Amino acid sequence: MLIATRLITLIQNSNKIQVEVRLFAPIKEEADWICWYEIDWPSARRSSFAAGLDSMQAIYLAQQKIGIDIYMSNHHAKGSIYWQTPNSGYGFPVPKNGRVFLVGEDKIFDG
């Protein structure tokens, strides 16, 4: 079940393309909880998950993975992607070792 979405704007060939990020409700699988997410990049959909000891941890870790996926993308490296305004960040947490890559408000609040 889909529980949250976010639209990120990608500038490609002078066109604005909406990239949808989707987060799905965690599901119990044996001893762990799994939280799936998708990022609809123009080239291909990225579908992955995070596993946690409970549903809350699974959601948090999935958000961190989304943050890392966006910050490590070629689109971020080129400066061609943004959430609300260019260079303001994307509003997703990242693990401590990824905070050096944060920009804008992400850096202010999570850096």
Other beta carbons within 10 Å of 70 = 26
93-108 average pLDDT score: 94
Tell me the pLDDT tens digit for each residue of 58-88: 999 999 999 999 999 999 999 999 999 999 9
